[in-house]
């Protein structure tokens, strides 16, 4: 039991940090994807 708590602390922080960063990046990827689709429509519409 004494070895378990430090392992959870060592592994838990990177997992939480990774999840936080993935959630932040997901929102930015959605915005970027929408912008790319809008650009493609604008390019096709101007031809």
Averaged pLDDT score across all residues of the chain? 88
Distance CA 9, CA 15 (A): 10
State which residues form the domain around 29.
1-47
Number of folded domains that form the chain: 1
Can you spell out the DSSP letters for 13-30?
Answer: HHHHHHHHHHHHHHHHHH
The predicted model scores a pTM of 0.58
For residue range 1-47, what is the model confidence (pLDDT) as tens digits? 677 778 777 888 888 889 889 999 999 999 999 999 999 999 998 77
């Amino acid at each position: 039991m004494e070895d378990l708590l430090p392992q959870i602390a060592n592994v838990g922080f990177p997992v939480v940090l990774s999840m936080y960063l993935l959630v932040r990046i997901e929102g930015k990827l959605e915005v970027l994807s929408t912008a790319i689709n809008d650009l493609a429509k604008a390019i096709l519409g101007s031809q």
